[in-house]
Every structure is written in C-alpha cells, then in structure tokens.
Amino acid sequence: MSQKTFAGVTVDVNEEGYFTNPAQWTKELAVEVAKEEGIQLTDKHLAVLDFLRERFAKGDNLTIRSVGNSGIVDIKGFYGLFPGAPMKKAAKIAGIPKPSSCV
C-alpha cells in the first residue's frame, strides 16, 4: 500500500492514487486532490462528492447515470464539473475507490 501527502496529511492510496481508506477523507483534502486534477472545487462539486460518498457508504453501484439522476447535476453538467473522465475524477476527489463501472 502506498501513501500520499496532501496539505501535510498523509493518506493511504492505491497505485492509481485512489484512497484505500475513505475515512481519511476530508473536504480540505478534496480541495488538494482536485487541484492535482486541475479542478477548482465549487459548492456544486462538493454536493456531487457528498452524493458519491453517501451512495458508496450504502454500497450502491456508482455510475454516471446515477449522478445524472441525483437531482444535483445532469450528465452534461457532471462532465462539465469533472472534464474528461468524470466518474474517475470525482471518485478520486471524493476519497472513494474507483467505481467498477470505470475502466
């Protein structure tokens, strides 16, 4: 298991940089991870991250469609918030493992 330091806090990550212990996540760390991904977090970003963390904690399958149906943002908006690979980037910033729906 690897470790990475964000804003002076060391967290456990896998080889792709995803948190292996979601309990280590904080919003302050999310801001730092987002910076590495080239994203400046807004309240809308944080609402999506909270949604993903809640769904992950419940054991739900995380998909782009589920985010689009969340009522927080539509699919196009999700791509706008997390350009390129929205689910991968959002999961990494949310401090949860990469969803199985991501390749």
Active site members: 102
- Residue identified by tokens 């782009």 is 64
Report the interhelical angle of 43-57 vs 27-36 (nearest 10°).
110
Contact 12, 2 (CB under 8 A): yes
